[in-house]
Amino acid sequence: MKILLDIFSIFLFFITYHIFNIFIATIVLMIISLIVCIIHYYVYQTIDIINIINCIIIFIFGSFTIIFHNPEFIKWKITILYFLLALILILIPKMKKQTLLESILCQYYSLSNQEWKKINIIWSLFFLLCSVLNLYIAYHFSENFWVYFKMFGLSGIIILFTLLNILYIKNIKK
């Protein structure tokens, strides 16, 4: 259900953008991100740190987008989020014995410490690549193209990358 709420917010942004404009879509995204955090809290009795970070970044960059009437700010949101995720993945193993991915997935997969580190580095690089790719699309293509890329391109890339990682992990276990 958690992933459905996240997909729902992206979908609402996309639909609102096409019905109105990026400014109304940004306001809807800000409201939905807050609602998603509230739903997470009531359903799971907790809010994931990623949801909190996402909500904060949406409010900061969304507010700048609305106040300055400049869509460039909201385009930076996903870049900042993915950069922070990469940074978190890189820094957590330096502070703890486990990687973040290991602490989340260890109940499902039993891998060596070395394999978890390798997967962690792969995901860090992936988020850095997505961060840079988003900026490239935002500044070299139209706003409409960027919205489609955010909805279908990044979502598709993340789904494909996740599936490839699952296959990789399952192959390691053999």
* Domain boundary pick from 70, 94, 110: 70
Q: Do 42 and 84 reside in the same domain of the chain? A: no
Q: Do 27 and 105 reside in the same domain of the chain? A: no
User: Whole-structure pTM over 0.95, yes or no?
Assistant: no
| Long-range interactions of 14-20: CB distance < 8 A, separation 24+ | 14/147, 14/150, 14/151, 17/147
Token digits for 87? 């940074």
* Domain boundary pick from 70, 91, 120: 70
Closest by CA to 147, choosing from 138, 156, 135, 160, is 138
Contact of 65 with 84, CB cutoff 8 Å: no
Closest by CA to 48, choosing from 163, 64, 56, is 56
pLDDT reported for residue 95:
86
* Domain boundary pick from 26, 42, 70: 70
pLDDT reported for residue 44:
87
Instruction: Give mean pLDDT, residues 110-128.
Output: 92
Q: In this model, does residue 80 exceed pLDDT 80? A: yes
Instruction: Give mean pLDDT, residues 119-148.
Output: 96
Instruction: Give mean pLDDT, residues 99-125.
Output: 87
Q: What is the 3-state composition of the chain as percent helix, strand, coil, each rounded to the nearest 5?
A: 85, 0, 15
